[in-house]
Structure 1
Amino acid sequence: MKYKIVEFNITNYRSISILKVTPGSNNFMTICGSNNVGKTNFLRALRLFFNPEVENFDAESDIPYHISEGSRGQGYAITLKGRIRELESGQEYIITQSFTEKLGVKEISLKGKKGTENLTEKEIRTFLQKNFKFFLVEASNVNIPKLVSEIVNEEILPLGLDQRRGRDQKDSLEKLNEFISQSKIAVEKIELQLTKIFKGLLQNVDSIDSNDWKLKIKFPEYLYLREAISNMIEFTLFDTNERKLETKGSGIQRTILLSLIQYVNSKTRKDVIWAIDEPEAFLQAGLQKSLYSNLLEQSEKNQIIITTHSHFFINVDDLSNTFLFEGTKELKEYSRKAGFLFYKLNTNIFVGSAFEKAQKIKENFGIGRNDSWEIMPFNILVEGQEDKDLLISLMKAFQIPIPNILIAGGVNKYPGYLQFVNDYCSELEYKPKVLALFDKDPAGRSEYNSLRSKTYRNIEVKCEYIIRYDGGTHNDIELEDFIYPELLFKAVGKLLRKEKFNQIKAADRRKRTFPAYDRKPVLDFITEMCRANNEDKAEINFNNLGMKLFLSKTVCNEIDKTDLKELNTLYPNVKVFLKQIATTFG
């Protein structure tokens, strides 16, 4: 390891307005925090910094919502600034990058210094490309094509296949056959080394026999031109049935990822920076412990930055290189589109003593209790914390026994989370049951259709859509449509009074049952009615994530202090549905 990031600054990137991170003395950095506070965005900003190309900058996603939607054509900019130290000499490089888009044209400018010496853009790009490899492994992606591509491109393609263009395809295929013959010798060596590393990682895991597995790289049956090879080569975990990698459990795939990390680290001459989003995703406890230990060992040679929700990856005794990200909400008004309000989400780092940080982490993420990972005989799986809070509040109010409620962190994570639960339960003497609860919006319907007929070896899964408070089951029903309208409108009223807006009139609320509005999602309806009653004020978009979180918290507070007997008489389907999902397997 020749270089180290000693400071990284972000301005106006996704949920991050201003953020400065100064890594500690060791090379293993941990970022923790609740969902939607910007942990993954920090890793993505680092990826953009080490790959400052136009195609890697997506203004629609990367520019913060309050700027991209608020400024409406004024132009905007992301600034990333890194301080990188050469370890042997102590010489420091300070590189500042600016990413902008004006009238649809993307621009990137680079400025930098080596000590007091100014660097040109070409020198900056050469410095980053020549000395660093940056890999981002996101939590929802257990596939590893990028790492395989790196191995293929650097160790196989240079063996004899040239880069000629415009030649006859037959001539190219003859060269390709020669290339494959030479490559198979190199592949066998790669397979042996990777299998040795992989088996070593599994030796201390009681539930897995390392002798049952080996890694294998297979060439495609049909051969095309050179530029397609790295995408065609198939990486397979070989068992007695020789099934493909994607048929294996997510935990095994994550362990293969660690094998590739070790392999790439041992082969490259560049400094490799690994950014791993939730490395614990879908791993059983034994593999989480093993992975953490091995990542620490690998960090002796390379910088490793992870985000996590698992206590296995947080050393509470030494939090010097652990950063607790927090999110704050700020009500903002569009600057270009008159009459539109939304909540701006900001990412911040908790500041306090080591003791205060430890207490905050334990309080927020359950370190010590670890209750988020416990699997009970019956469980309900929901998207986020607000879903869990609402179900608990309602079940408490109706004295319905509260089941174990698991949080996946988004409906797109249901498949991976269920696979994790399945792997986790492999040694249990009983077969836990999981009810997966879905919104009936497009994303929810897609995942529902994908999972409703899927079976698992170690768990029993059923899928269920949320209903509307009046029993409606049509499309586009979301969690907010399940809430008693009186409580939801009361929460909306509190916000409107706070912002000195006119309330939604009773006559307008009754329009909810009109044919024109009956099947409209309730937050769309509320946004429209609020606009109609406040034409002289900025519009509030109640579908904004910050608004949803505010309404959820306010509604839960109202449920806790409200006698629901009258509401239950008006809308009996809410209680019936709660009893139904609580006894689905009963």
Structure 2
Amino acid sequence: MKYRIDEFNIKNFRSISQIKIRPNKDENLLTICGSNNVGKTNFLRALYLFFHPIKENFSAKKDIPYHISEGSMGLGFVTTLKAKITEISTGKTYNITQKFTERKGEKQVDILGKIDRENLTQKEVIDFLNKNFKFFLIEASNVNIPKLVSEIVNEEILPIGLDKRRGKAQQESLEKLTEFIDKSKEAVGKIENEITKIFKDILKDVNTIDSDDWKLKINFPEYNYLREAISNMINFTLFDTNQRELETKGSGIQRTILLSLIQYVNKKTKKDVIWAIDEPEAFLQADLQKSLFNRLKDEATRNKIIVTTHSHFFIDLNSLKNTFLFAGTKELKEYSRKPGLVFHKLNTIVINGSDYEKATNIKKHFGIKRNDSWEIFPYNIVVEGQEDKDLFIALFNKFDLPIPNVLVAGGVDKYKGYLQFIEDMCSELSFKPKLKIIFDKDGAGKSQYNTLKNKTFKNFTTECLFIIRFDGKTYDNIELEDFIYPDLIFNATNKLLRKKGYKSIRKSDREKRCLASYDRKPILECLNDFTTQNNEDKHPMDFNTMSSKLFLSDKICKEISTTDLTEQMKNFPKVEEFLTQIASG
């Protein structure tokens, strides 16, 4: 591609009040997902309008948001589209603004543009778009194969040098007409063979379809008309045991033909082709969806492809920078011009966040549960228990670090079996995940660490790490609780003690934590000792039990989210260093 779209802004278009998308500059495949009626298709339609900015393509009744067109009729009665486009080879930047409005049936399109700081006229902007871009919008409800065929026919068949003056060819000799037909059929045959080859190559990825049973055929019927009618007379036929028009075939096969046409057009044009495809997975079985997505990724190395989807097969977990999750909001609006009427202001928004947070929201949207391909992300950390996961995520949030995918093995002794389970789950992934495995530095943790530190797996890579102490001291018998700031541990412990009717741990006890007699002890053993000393008349407490750990974890997580930890962060920087180390792959 010669050009890159760095930014696209939409204001007051259908369900979109205002939205800004900044695609990742290194990727040409952009994916939009979200529930029904949140504005995914409207985003594609706005792009179509931007690349075809003519009056006929705009209708205030359809395109101005309803609450404005029927309610305010004020200054907001205009659709504004803006784009920042960069010429890749030179770095020149085109900033283009288009405004569409309609008053008393009169439509108006105002277009402003700049190359860097140089102003462009409206005509120069339109010429720039027409000369350098070819934009196709394929809506889910209308594959519109005939339109694509027309594009191919007009570019590949008609410029064969005949019929240069309309009408005159009708008076030419029968020999000239026959020559014209023969040459046209020859051109059609070449197109037919090339697209059939692409189509059959796609079907090789689908076990349930024998590619040898199918081929594409372009019917070239007898006719008495010339250039103006040719593209309308030609139709595509999927040939199996008989020749029948494409519309009689299943929608899934039609979508596969669409991919064949995409590949064909991309190869033939010198312009930057942008394909906006609404729900390409529609009517396709799972293996065809996977195959189609992989093919689209391949095509996106040469041209821009934008898809909306409801299928997790069209989400690339290995790269979510160009995946956008849309959501919709609704706001009640009243206008003085329409007393007594309440309008719903619909607005499309983009859900942002780290790759993990974005993927988690997408999982929730798609209803993806455990034991599917989305259990494993490109980068993951593995911890022993759920309380460990909760503590890490609370700390990641506190330090404003990206949250990785955290997997729970169910105990250090289950690490080996859990990793084998992950190995099986990863067997069909299109990427090779990385797992950082966190071990307590106690007896059980060191034993499993030594077993797994040099073990290799076919379908993922691993890195084994011991948890550190909050102050960075490298003693043995360090557990996750020793990583947590001591004050958080003591505060949570006192809540549990008060709940059970025990005396709290005193300030003087807290100060003993770093004395020689306690310094090398795990914090949970210190809690047992301090509680026993202060409650000799009570039954000894054991903070190593699962119920106690879960209680402490819950209280610590809440305190992390609500308490100012600036002092602890300053005094014990090793905590943030370790979290930063494991937050990113």
Q: Assess if the C-alpha contact under 8 Å between 2:6 and 2:85 holds in 1.
A: yes
Aligned pair in 2 of structure 1 residues 172, 151: CA closer, same or farther (>3 Å)? farther
- 2:147 is equivalent to residue 141 of structure 1: no
Supply the distance in 2 between the matched residues of 1:235 and 1:114 (Cα, whole angstroms).
42
1:145 shift after superposition = 1.3
Name the amino acid aligned to 1:128. Answer: L
Q: Which residue matches 1:61? A: 62
Q: Which residue matches 2:191? A: 190
Name the amino acid aligned to 2:120. Answer: L
Q: Assess if the C-alpha contact under 8 Å between 1:75 and 1:101 holds in 2.
A: no
Q: Which residue matches 2:32? A: 31
Q: Assess if the C-alpha contact under 8 Å between 2:7 and 2:23 holds in 1.
A: yes
Q: Assess if the C-alpha contact under 8 Å between 1:173 and 1:223 holds in 2.
A: no
Q: Deviations over 1:177-219 (max 9, x none)?
A: 5432211111111111111111100112110000011111112
Supply the distance in 1 between the matched residues of 2:289 and 2:114 (Cα, whole angstroms).
41
Name the amino acid aligned to 1:23. Answer: P
Q: Which residue matches 1:13? A: 13
Q: Deviations over 1:484-533 (max 9, x none)?
A: xxxxxxxxxxxxxxxxxxxxxxxxxxxxxxxxxxxxxxxxxxxxxxxxxx
1:255-334 counterparts in 2 under 5 A?
255-334=256-335
Q: Which residue matches 1:340? A: 341
Q: Which residue matches 1:543? A: none
Supply the distance in 1 between the matched residues of 2:300 and 2:184 (Cα, whole angstroms).
31
Name the amino acid aligned to 2:14. Answer: R
Supply the distance in 1 between the matched residues of 2:12 and 2:37 (Cα, whole angstroms).
16
Name the amino acid aligned to 1:318. Answer: S
- 2:53 is equivalent to residue 52 of structure 1: yes
Aligned pair in 2 of structure 1 residues 205, 107: CA closer, same or farther (>3 Å)? same
Moved more, 297-306 or 228-237: 228-237
Structure 2 counterpart SS, 1:88: coil
Supply the distance in 2 between the matched residues of 1:164 and 1:145 (Cα, whole angstroms).
26
Supply the distance in 2 between the matched residues of 1:220 and 1:369 (Cα, whole angstroms).
55
- 2:206 is equivalent to residue 213 of structure 1: no
Q: Deviations over 1:278-311 (max 9, x none)?
A: 0100000010000000000000001111000001
Structure 1 counterpart SS, 2:71: coil
Name the amino acid aligned to 2:151. Answer: E
Q: Deviations over 1:23-80 (max 9, x none)?
A: 0121111000000000000000000000111111122211111111113588821110
Name the amino acid aligned to 1:143. Answer: N
1:360-509 counterparts in 2 under 5 A?
360-368=361-369
1:175 shift after superposition = 6.4
Aligned pair in 2 of structure 1 residues 262, 369: CA closer, same or farther (>3 Å)? farther
Structure 1 counterpart SS, 2:72: coil
Q: Deviations over 1:102-142 (max 9, x none)?
A: 11100111100111111111111111001000001111113
Supply the distance in 1 between the matched residues of 2:22 and 2:177 (Cα, whole angstroms).
48
Supply the distance in 1 between the matched residues of 2:65 and 2:302 (Cα, whole angstroms).
35
Aligned pair in 2 of structure 1 residues 152, 71: CA closer, same or farther (>3 Å)? same
Q: Which residue matches 2:163? A: 162
Supply the distance in 1 between the matched residues of 2:174 and 2:84 (Cα, whole angstroms).
47
Supply the distance in 1 between the matched residues of 2:336 and 2:128 (Cα, whole angstroms).
39
Q: Assess if the C-alpha contact under 8 Å between 2:71 and 2:343 holds in 1.
A: no
Q: Assess if the C-alpha contact under 8 Å between 2:333 and 2:345 holds in 1.
A: yes
Moved more, 23-32 or 226-235: 226-235
Aligned pair in 2 of structure 1 residues 119, 336: CA closer, same or farther (>3 Å)? same
Q: Assess if the C-alpha contact under 8 Å between 2:140 and 2:278 holds in 1.
A: yes
Structure 1 counterpart SS, 2:208: coil
1:369 shift after superposition = 6.7
Q: Assess if the C-alpha contact under 8 Å between 1:137 and 1:277 holds in 2.
A: yes
1:161 shift after superposition = 3.5
Structure 1 counterpart SS, 2:35: coil
Aligned pair in 2 of structure 1 residues 175, 341: CA closer, same or farther (>3 Å)? farther
Aligned pair in 2 of structure 1 residues 299, 335: CA closer, same or farther (>3 Å)? farther
Aligned pair in 2 of structure 1 residues 370, 147: CA closer, same or farther (>3 Å)? farther
Supply the distance in 2 between the matched residues of 1:60 and 1:156 (Cα, whole angstroms).
39
Q: Assess if the C-alpha contact under 8 Å between 2:100 and 2:107 holds in 1.
A: yes
1:222 shift after superposition = 3.3
Aligned length: 371
Q: Assess if the C-alpha contact under 8 Å between 1:143 and 1:253 holds in 2.
A: no
Q: Assess if the C-alpha contact under 8 Å between 2:12 and 2:76 holds in 1.
A: no
> Over the residues paired in the alignment, what is the CA RMSD in angstroms?
2.1
Q: Deviations over 1:265-286 (max 9, x none)?
A: 0000000001000010000001
Q: Which residue matches 1:230? A: 231
Q: Which residue matches 1:380? A: none
Name the amino acid aligned to 1:139. Answer: A
1:355 shift after superposition = 1.8
Structure 2 counterpart SS, 1:345: strand
1:326 shift after superposition = 0.5
Name the amino acid aligned to 2:112. Answer: K
Q: Assess if the C-alpha contact under 8 Å between 1:72 and 1:337 holds in 2.
A: no
Aligned pair in 2 of structure 1 residues 129, 186: CA closer, same or farther (>3 Å)? same
Moved more, 131-140 or 228-237: 228-237
Q: Assess if the C-alpha contact under 8 Å between 2:138 and 2:144 holds in 1.
A: no
Supply the distance in 2 between the matched residues of 1:369 and 1:14 (Cα, whole angstroms).
37
Aligned pair in 2 of structure 1 residues 115, 182: CA closer, same or farther (>3 Å)? same
Name the amino acid aligned to 1:156. Answer: I
Q: Assess if the C-alpha contact under 8 Å between 2:163 and 2:169 holds in 1.
A: no
Q: Assess if the C-alpha contact under 8 Å between 1:75 and 1:102 holds in 2.
A: no
Q: Deviations over 1:465-488 (max 9, x none)?
A: xxxxxxxxxxxxxxxxxxxxxxxx
Q: Which residue matches 1:505? A: none
Q: Assess if the C-alpha contact under 8 Å between 2:281 and 2:311 holds in 1.
A: yes
Q: Deviations over 1:344-372 (max 9, x none)?
A: 1110001222222111111122235799x
1:225 shift after superposition = 3.9
Q: Which residue matches 1:248? A: 249
Supply the distance in 1 between the matched residues of 2:370 and 2:293 (Cα, whole angstroms).
19
Structure 2 counterpart SS, 1:76: coil
Q: Deviations over 1:381-407 (max 9, x none)?
A: xxxxxxxxxxxxxxxxxxxxxxxxxxx
Q: Which residue matches 1:117? A: 118
Aligned pair in 2 of structure 1 residues 285, 230: CA closer, same or farther (>3 Å)? same
Name the amino acid aligned to 1:141. Answer: N
Supply the distance in 2 between the matched residues of 1:230 and 1:163 (Cα, whole angstroms).
16
TM-score of the two chains, using structure 1 as the length reference: 0.61
Supply the distance in 1 between the matched residues of 2:61 and 2:174 (Cα, whole angstroms).
41
Q: Assess if the C-alpha contact under 8 Å between 1:173 and 1:225 holds in 2.
A: no
TM-score of the two chains, using structure 2 as the length reference: 0.61
Aligned pair in 2 of structure 1 residues 63, 288: CA closer, same or farther (>3 Å)? same
Supply the distance in 1 between the matched residues of 2:354 and 2:247 (Cα, whole angstroms).
44
Supply the distance in 2 between the matched residues of 1:248 and 1:335 (Cα, whole angstroms).
54
Structure 2 counterpart SS, 1:69: helix
Supply the distance in 2 between the matched residues of 1:174 and 1:60 (Cα, whole angstroms).
53
Q: Which residue matches 2:501? A: none
- 2:94 is equivalent to residue 93 of structure 1: yes
Name the amino acid aligned to 2:294. Answer: S
Name the amino acid aligned to 1:291. Answer: L
Supply the distance in 1 between the matched residues of 2:178 and 2:273 (Cα, whole angstroms).
33
Q: Assess if the C-alpha contact under 8 Å between 1:69 and 1:334 holds in 2.
A: no
Name the amino acid aligned to 1:84. Answer: I
Aligned pair in 2 of structure 1 residues 166, 190: CA closer, same or farther (>3 Å)? closer
Supply the distance in 2 between the matched residues of 1:323 and 1:176 (Cα, whole angstroms).
53
Moved more, 14-23 or 348-357: 348-357
Supply the distance in 2 between the matched residues of 1:36 and 1:175 (Cα, whole angstroms).
55
Aligned pair in 2 of structure 1 residues 103, 176: CA closer, same or farther (>3 Å)? farther
Structure 1 counterpart SS, 2:244: coil
Q: Which residue matches 2:202? A: 201
